[in-house]
Structure 1
Amino acid sequence: MKQNFTVRQGALDGVEAFLRVAQYRSFRRAAAELGVTPSAISQAVRALEARVGAALFIRTTRSVGLTEAGARFLSRAKPAFEELVAASEVARDLGQRPTGLLRLTVPRAVVPILLEPLIASFCQAYPEVEVEIAAGEELVDLAAKGFDAGVRMGQFVATDMVAVRLTPPFPFVVVGSPDYLRRHRQPERIDDLRQHACLRIRRSNGSIAPWSLVDGNKTVEAIVSGPLIAHDFPTMLGAAVEGMGLAQVPAPIATSLVKTGKLVQVLKSFAPMAPGVFLYYPSRHQTMPKLRAFIDHVKARPAAAGKTRVHVDDKRTRGTKTR
């Protein structure tokens, strides 16, 4: 059943005029304060009294006083009106300069290699902005959960989002520890994965993701098995370092471990390419200064991963799919 508004249309009309008259006990001074004519103030107060259903002032040729109804109205209306004015000023401030709380939802894997250096430099450049990072793999509704923006790989960004590229495309690599590969023959073909312990990841929708590989121009989804099912790439990567099995992960998070010899890449020619990592948000028209400042900061800085410059595509994503 449709409900009526608690506050009637126009219920606040004349309240500021009433408060000024009550403050100065003068229609003329109230008019001068608000930059209107005494007649306009008088009409606004009369209209308010008509809506309230009671006289608010006692008027004589020499003075203006409050009725009992006016005094009670003043005691409730004055603090409420001041709160409304303060609320407007806070909202206006947020809409005019970078300030307030910037909330970002991001995968755990990108925090140390991409976001930490960006966030540190951004907070130094914009000290009036507080940044909150919610690290998790779940794909959340930005508006419903109160986030300003999110960070995800391009294939998981919905087509109605505006996307800003944070990294170039990169491969998904299969890696294993030297200890594991000493105990198991290194795979050379996709079918060889049947004889290996393959670490897997559970998607946010509850399903276990197959390993996606390429064989020439053909994409192959390999159903693998192994001792561990993780909910994020860092956990799976750590298990691979400990020799629990092979893991398929985004190349940027494995690069340093491969360089130091803690992991070895296998099946290199079968590695598929991912579109890269993107910052995404709902609409340019709803972008607050705090988010616009962060977007500009991202565009102006080199990428953390690989020390290459950030490639920026400030556009709506096309041809992507959600998890």
Structure 2
Amino acid sequence: MPREPYSDLLALMAVAEERSFTRAAARLGISQSMLSHTIRELEARLGVRLLTRTTRSVSVTEAGERLLRVVAPRFKDIESELRHVTELSETPAGTLRITATEHAIDTLLWPKLSGILAAYPKIKVELSSDYAFTDIVQGRYDFGVRLGDGLTRDSSAVRIAPDLQFAIVGAPSYFAAHAMPATPQELTNHACINLRFPTRGNLYAWELKQDQSELNVRVDGQLVFNGIYQIVNTALSGYGLAYVPEDLARPHLESGRLLPVMKSWWRTFPGYHLYYSNQRETSRAMQILIEALRYGE
């Protein structure tokens, strides 16, 4: 049997890991139709079905699982060796993929990354903005960024920011027609702007704390977003109350465009952490990024 192109096997691995032709095609940088054609050709040459397709999902057949069980580790070994070879060069190089929220990217990562990229021109960085709590191993990311209380035990983490306080705010125009709430229970009577987490699918419950009392309040309103900046802008327009990072609200609070609400209930969270799989070795490029972002140094 002639040697098969490695790209076919990489395509199969991507679909199996993503469980989606759409996401796999985006990851590989090719069209969905080209990816489907590649998989069909591979199945035709092997004479066996490797994937089971439905209108909603993609799963791996028994034959596909057997093939991937043997092939996938080999490719990971090859990738590891290629990274080691790259490390032998005098200049750190490679592409680092990071998933983080837009708030972390704009206020924390980019201000420091701009200096790293200038100092190490052969290091490339790909930033993916989302609130999806992405599995960095499955998504093939080198790093993720989360608040300290959202980390898992199967990862290594480095603190890269101070504690982060969240604030409840509203515009003067909103309070021209609504009374200022005094208790968490009163929030349910107000128009609140919600944040939806893509992966979990649910709306974020506002996490409040006053002294030793902690509450998760599920609020309601006309608007739901999947990004913090949109929530801030909508609050500025007077469409309801918002629960956002205090540093984003601060300029508007100082200017009077937003007003603080129930400040004694504002909660502080452990700051952003850069995390990565503890099952892989860190490259020189990764080490440079970790040290540059490390908080307090």
Query: Following superposition of structure 1 onto structure 2, how do residues 18-57 of structure 1 map, counting pairs within 5 Å?
Result: none
Match for residue 155 of structure 1?
149
Deviations 1:201-258 (A, max 9, x none): 1123111122221243111122211111111222212211111100111222222222
Hey, what does 1:234 align to over in structure 2?
229
Give 4+ residue runs of structure 1 displaced > 3 Å after superposition: 87-93
Query: Of the candidates 87, 94, 103, which is equivalent to residue 100 of structure 1?
Result: 94
| Structure 2 CA distance for aligned equivalents of residues 166 and 260 of structure 1 | 29
Following superposition, the deviation at residue 175 of structure 1 comes to 0.8
Aligned partner of 2:43 in structure 1 is none
* Matches for 1:273-292 after TM superposition, within 5 Å: 273-283=268-278, 286-292=281-287
Structure 1 unaligned residues grouped into runs of 5+: 1-5, 7-86, 300-309, 313-323
2:201 alignment counterpart: 206
Alignment of 1:259-270 (within 5 A): 259-270=254-265
SS in 1 for 2:133: coil
1:219 equivalent in structure 2: 214
The within-5 A match list for 1:1-323 is 91-96=83-88, 98-203=92-197, 204-283=199-278, 286-299=281-294, 310-311=295-296
- AA aligned opposite 2:219: V
The answer as to whether partners of 1:102 and 1:130 remain within 8 angstroms in 2 is yes
Which sections of structure 2, spanning at least 5 residues, go unmatched?
A: 4-78
Q: Which residue of 2 aligns with 1:21?
A: none
* Whole-angstrom distance in 1 between the partners of 2:83 and 2:108: 31
Percent sequence identity is: 29
1:90 and 1:194 map into 2 onto residues whose CA distance is 55
Larger Rg over CA atoms: 1
Give me the whole-angstrom Cα distance separating, in 2, the residues matched to 1:242 and 1:226.
Answer: 14
Q: SS at 1:279's partner residue?
A: strand
Q: Structure 2 counterpart of 1:121, which letter?
A: G
User: 2:92 corresponds to which letter in structure 1?
Assistant: P
**SS state at 1:144 partner:** coil
Is residue 164–residue 269 contact of structure 2 (8 Å, CA) maintained in 1?
yes
Secondary structure of 2:106's match? helix
How many residue pairs get matched?
218
> Match of 1:292, SS?
helix
In 2, are the aligned partners of 1:197 and 1:226 still within 8 Å (CA)? yes
Q: Distance in 2 between matches of 1:127 and 1:210?
A: 42
